[in-house]
Amino acid sequence: MKLVFSDKELGKLFIMLVLATLLFGMFGLVGMLVMQWVTRQRYAKEHIEKHGISRVNASRLGGAVVIGLALSFLVARYLSGYEFSDAGSLGIHPWAWAAFLASSILGLIEDLDNDLLSPRLRLSMLGLFFGLTFVIWPEVIPHNIGYMPIDWVMSQPVIGWTIVVIFSVGFINAINMADGANGLVPGIVFISSVIFHSIDGALIWEVLSIVSGVFLMFNVISGRLFLGDAGAYGLGAILVLGGFYAVNTGRIGVEFAAVMMCYPCIEVVISMVRRKLAGRSMFKPDNDHLHNKIYERLRLRTKSRVVANSVTGLLIACASTGVAFVGYHWELLSPVDRAWGWVFCAQLMAYLAVYAFLSRPVPEPTNIIAK
């Protein structure tokens, strides 16, 4: 395909290449070039109105690119002499990789041929992947949460297994639902990877922090590459299994994990309740999410097709996972401190207040600020 760039696109590309190289070195430069190439291909294009928020033609293969680059960088580190151990989250345990890769491939099939697999079939297959994973690797099922009734329930093999399978599938779909605002899910993945790498030092988190950081820049600046189902399923699997491992080994508390992942978890629950109250199917998608409402308000104040989208995603990522990073990085609270539960409650209250405020009729714009 012939690559033709406008002056504006060339300017954006130059900025992205410089930032990626300065922040992430050669890996960042290579990753940025690969992402730019993928957006120029004609296949796996995202429908411009699917999320009710994008206004540019974009590729759905961002997740495939992120996962492919991460695997390539892991191989490069291995060939350079890095020694893998049997301790740590993901990147090591074979069944964690099996669930991650199986979920990614399932999502990639949907990206390449949209609606080839029915939602029910995809949910069933995800349940199968995680069901097998937790049968073969039961040690990752969290049963040291710190609340005796819950710990007792989770320690019961069948009950604990059922709960983590349902939660894992639900979390992955929550991540998939949130993917639409530039920088939202990539921001959550990037910040979470930095936190997890700081806590347990596993190589997978170092690599993901680099790759997701590069993708975050590309997604926010260009708006032409989405994670798609491959990214939502694969990266969602990494986050949920990494979170289970960290909680069960006492590296983080369940309250801290809730703050890290508050937006997708709150959004999916509120959306299901909202649809049920409206007499609709709880599982039928819509565009009434908080990120859609924030975007609509911002869109009235800019002519850019990208700025309102990107600001929406970054605001939410910073208000959710960013809060966990600030508290942990500046040692305001330990990651195992139960006071994080109050932080999560504050995030929930803030979500409800903002959603209620933005649900009011949208006022007519008074000033239009050109990008």
Q: Given this model, what pLDDT does residue 53 score?
A: 57
SS3 call for 58: strand
Q: What are phi and psi of 181, to 5 degrees?
A: -85, 125
**Count of beta carbons in the 10 Å neighbourhood of residue 238:** 27
Percent of the chain surpassing pLDDT 90: 48
Q: Given this model, what pLDDT does residue 36 score?
A: 87
Sorting pLDDT into bands at 50, 70 and 90, what band is 195?
A: very high
Q: What are phi and psi of 141, to 5 degrees?
A: -70, 120
Alpha helices in the chain (DSSP H): 7-39, 62-79, 94-112, 119-136, 148-155, 157-178, 184-200, 203-222, 228-248, 254-260, 262-277, 290-299, 307-319, 321-329, 340-358
Tell whether the model's pLDDT for residue 89 goes beyond 50.
Answer: no
Q: Which residues contact 317 (CB under 8 A, 6 or more apart)?
A: 183, 184, 185, 186, 187, 188, 191, 263
Tokens of 205: 């988190």
Tell whether the model's pLDDT for residue 86 goes beyond 80.
Answer: no
Mean model confidence pLDDT for the chain: 85
* pLDDT, greater one: 61 or 188: 188
Sorting pLDDT into bands at 50, 70 and 90, what band is 366?
A: low
Tell whether the model's pLDDT for residue 121 goes beyond 50.
Answer: yes
**Alpha carbon distance 69, 92 (integer Å):** 17
Tell whether the model's pLDDT for residue 94 goes beyond 90.
Answer: no
* pLDDT, greater one: 159 or 281: 159
3, HSE (Cβ side, Cα atoms, 13 Å): 11
DSSP string, 169-196: HHHHHHHHHHBTBTTHHHHHHHHHHHHH
Q: What pLDDT digit, counting tens, does each position of 5-22 carry?
A: 566 778 888 888 999 999
Q: Given this model, what pLDDT does residue 44 score?
A: 58
Residue whose pair of structure tokens reads 């997604």 in the numeric block:
219
Q: What does each C-alpha distance from 173 to 108, 132, 304 come to in angstroms?
A: 15, 19, 29
148, HSE (Cβ side, Cα atoms, 13 Å): 0
Sorting pLDDT into bands at 50, 70 and 90, what band is 369?
A: very low
Do residues 130 and 99 lie in contact, with contact meaning Cβ atoms separated by under 8 Å?
yes
Q: Given this model, what pLDDT does residue 2 score?
A: 46
Q: What pLDDT digit, counting tens, does each position of 257-316 carry?
A: 999 999 999 999 999 999 988 888 887 878 889 999 999 888 888 877 788 889 999 999
Q: What does each C-alpha distance from 104 to 31, 94, 203 come to in angstroms?
A: 19, 15, 19
Q: What does each C-alpha distance from 268 to 8, 128, 163, 288 come to in angstroms?
A: 37, 21, 17, 11
Percent of the chain surpassing pLDDT 70: 88
* pLDDT, greater one: 46 or 285: 285
Sorting pLDDT into bands at 50, 70 and 90, what band is 368?
A: very low
Q: Given this model, what pLDDT does residue 114 score?
A: 77
Closest residue by Cα to residue 55 from 350, 310, 322: 310
Tell whether the model's pLDDT for residue 93 goes beyond 90.
Answer: no
277-316 core/surface letters (b: 16 or more CB in 10 A; e: else) = eeeeeeeeeeeebbbbbbbbebbeebebebbbbbbbbbbb
Mean per-residue pLDDT for 132-161?
89
Q: Given this model, what pLDDT does residue 211 score?
A: 94
**Alpha carbon distance 174, 165 (integer Å):** 14
Tell whether the model's pLDDT for residue 125 goes beyond 60.
Answer: yes
